[in-house]
């Protein structure tokens, strides 16, 4: 009965996604900490006893309470899922404890991007070539090795540079408002995905995407949802393992195999974070595909004529983005970009002569 209740509650709260994103990370930390405490791992004067971890018949009530606490905790923590991912992205505004580090982290990543671009530019200008005159076999082999090393360096710098957003269209007067760079690697990959998705067409992806979403094809929407779920799952596990590593730091004082617990948790946290970064890259590809295939749905839904050239499309998209980003009190009539633009309402085709306007009902053997 209890299992059926848990299964029904999990299904109502989002099925497997709810269990993976909410129950599993919190339950993992709780289970590991309970195991270490029951095994007396924090008591340096006695050896750990794993046999004391297994619950007896008298502890079945505690196991049921733990399962219920994990489920309820997952429900209560679900609204903070977005906040969790945003912290890993680098949205470190007050009262976040990481807010004082935001400026230094942004500058570090900005220099990393600029250095990769500089090395890439110099390497592309000065690519080694085979000499025209006669050369020995050893000279040719050495030259080929130099060319291979430079090719690997170019590929590495290009990959680094392509994980960062561009600052060509940045406007602002403050030190942090003059860049799109985020303070974390995950945030930079996602920010570049946003720019690549809509920026190529003059659209702000995060402003326009909620308006395009109702027109996204079912298969593409499913792929996007799957990528976002995986991204949130890996981000949640990264934070959970990081918290577990911090809680098990006292075990370093045992100077035995149990001292490896915080190091193992930290390693798993880093691996989960790297998985989130890789997932963010694939998410950007799917996100760009949404705009590649459905950007004209926004124009048609707003009742504007479809542009005939890329220049017209870019100009119209910039006007739409500017209008949608403004406050709710801003009216379309007073907008400088769209206020005087004519609408293009679709013409409904007239029904064929002699046919009813409403289709007939089914005959009982199938749907109408």
pLDDT in tens, 115-125: 999 998 888 88
The answer as to whether 40 is a domain residue is yes
| ∠ Cα 294 88 282 (to 5°) | 35
- Same domain, yes or no: 190 and 309: yes
pLDDT for res 287:
93
Tell me which long-range contacts 149-153 makes (C-beta under 8 A, separation of at least 24).
150/123, 153/119, 153/123
Both 204 and 306 in one domain: the answer is yes
Residue bearing the bigger pLDDT, 23 or 238: 238
Q: What is the pLDDT, as a whole number, of residue 228?
A: 87
**So what's the pLDDT on residue 78?**
64
Does residue 191 sit in the same domain as residue 319? Answer: yes
pLDDT for position 71: 66
pLDDT at 276: 93
Q: Which residues contact 238 (CB under 8 A, 6 or more apart)?
A: 88, 269, 270, 272, 273, 275, 276
- Token pair of 9 as six digits: 């509650």
- 341 upstream amide cis, omega within 30 of 0: no
Query: Which position has the higher pLDDT, 286 or 141?
Result: 286
pLDDT value for 2: 33
Any idea which of 63-72, 114-123, 227-236 has the lowest mean pLDDT? 63-72
pLDDT band at 166 (very low <50, low <70, confident <90, very high): confident
What is the token pair recorded at 63?
């196991």
The closest alpha carbon to 288, from 233, 229, 227, belongs to 227
Task: Give yes or no: residues 210 and 308 share one domain.
Answer: yes
Is the pLDDT at 201 greater than 60? The verdict is yes
Please check whether residues 206 and 287 belong to one and the same domain: yes
DSSP state of 174: S
Q: Are residues 115 and 218 in the same domain?
A: no
Do the domain assignments include residue 173?
no
- What is the band of 85 on the pLDDT scale with cuts at 50, 70, 90? confident
d(CA 9, CA 18): 10
In a domain, 176, yes or no: no
179 within some domain:
no
Q: 250 lies in a domain? A: yes
Please give the Cα distance from 182 to 113 (Å, whole number).
11
Instruction: Please name which of 184, 179, 146 lies closest in space to residue 165, comparing C-alpha atoms.
Output: 179
Angle at which helix 2-12 crosses helix 60-77, to 10 degrees, equals: 10
Rounded average pLDDT over 215-239: 88
Q: What does the pLDDT look like over 251-304, one tens digit per residue? A: 888 788 888 899 999 999 999 999 999 999 999 999 999 999 999 999 998 999
Q: Is residue 67 domain-shared with residue 108, that is, in the same domain?
A: no
Residue finishing a domain among 325, 343, 358: 325
Residue 135 is encoded by which pair of tokens? 């050369």
| One domain for residues 214 and 256 | yes
Could you say which of 61, 89, 117 is where a domain stops? 89
The residue with greater pLDDT, 258 or 60, is 258
Burial profile 282-305: b = 16 or more Cβ within 10 angstroms, e = fewer = ebbebbbbbbeebbeebbeebebe
Q: pTM for the whole thing? A: 0.77
Mean pLDDT of the chain: 79
Percentage of residues of the chain with pLDDT beyond 90: 26
Same domain, 253 and 213: yes
Q: How confident is the model at residue 364 (pLDDT cuts 50, 70, 90)?
A: very low
Domain tally, the chain: 3
- Determine the pLDDT at residue 22: 61
Q: DSSP string of 242-294? A: HHHHHHTGGGGGG-SGGGGHHHHHHHHHHHHHHHHHHHHHHHHHHHHHHHHHH
Same domain for 189 and 277, yes or no, is: yes
Can you tell me the mean pLDDT for 318-345?
Answer: 84
Q: Tokens in use for 86?
A: 């945003």
What 3-state DSSP class applies to 95? coil
Residues 74 and 104 in one domain: no
Whether residue 331 is contained in a domain is answered as no
Task: Tell whether 242 is covered by a domain.
Answer: yes
- The span from the CA of 74 to the CA of 243, in Å, is 16
Output 5 or 132, whichever has higher pLDDT. 132
Whether 361 is in a domain gets the answer no
Residue bearing the bigger pLDDT, 47 or 257: 257
- Check residue 113 and give its pLDDT: 92
Domain check: are 223 and 281 in the same one? yes
Residue with tokens 């085709």: 349
Confidence at residue 183, expressed as pLDDT on a 0 to 100 scale: 93
Q: Which residue has the higher pLDDT, 71 or 177?
A: 71
Q: Residue 50 is part of which domain span?
A: 2-89
């Amino acid at each position: 009965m209890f299992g059926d209740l848990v299964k029904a509650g999990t299904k109502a709260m989002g099925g497997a996604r709810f269990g993976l994103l909410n129950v599993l990370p919190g339950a993992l930390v709780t289970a590991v900490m309970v195991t270490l405490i029951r095994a007396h791992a924090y008591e340096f004067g006695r050896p750990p006893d794993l046999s004391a971890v297994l619950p007896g018949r008298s502890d079945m009530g505690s196991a049921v309470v733990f399962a219920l606490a994990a489920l309820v905790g997952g429900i209560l923590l679900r609204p903070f899922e977005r906040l969790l991912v945003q912290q890993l992205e680098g949205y470190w505004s007050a009262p976040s404890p990481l807010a004082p580090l935001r400026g230094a982290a942004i500058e570090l990543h900005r220099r990393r991007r600029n250095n990769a671009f500089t090395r890439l530019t110099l390497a592309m200008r000065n690519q080694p070539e085979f000499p025209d005159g006669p050369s020995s076999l050893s000279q040719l082999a050495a030259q080929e090795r130099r060319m291979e090393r430079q090719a690997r360096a170019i590929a590495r710098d290009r990959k680094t540079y392509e994980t960062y957003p561009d600052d060509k269209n940045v406007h602002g007067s403050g030190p942090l408002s003059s860049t799109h760079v985020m303070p974390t690697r995950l945030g930079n990959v996602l920010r570049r995905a946003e720019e690549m998705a809509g920026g190529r067409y003059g659209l702000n992806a995060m402003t326009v995407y909620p308006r395009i979403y109702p027109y996204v094809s079912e298969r593409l929407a499913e792929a996007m949802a799957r990528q976002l779920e995986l991204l949130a799952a890996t981000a949640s596990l990264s934070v959970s393992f990081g918290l577990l590593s911090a809680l098990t730091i006292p075990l370093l004082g045992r100077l035995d195999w149990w001292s490896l617990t915080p190091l193992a948790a930290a390693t798993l946290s880093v691996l989960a974070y790297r998985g989130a970064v890789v997932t963010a890259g694939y998410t950007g590809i799917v996100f760009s595909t949404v705009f590649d295939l459905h950007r004209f749905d926004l124009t048609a839904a707003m009742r504007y004529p479809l542009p005939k050239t890329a220049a017209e499309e870019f100009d119209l998209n910039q006007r739409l983005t500017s209008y949608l980003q403004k406050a709710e009190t801003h009216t379309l009539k007073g907008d400088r970009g769209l206020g005087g633009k004519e609408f293009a309402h679709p013409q409904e085709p007239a029904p064929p002569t002699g046919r009813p306007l409403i289709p007939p009902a089914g005959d009982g053997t199938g749907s109408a």
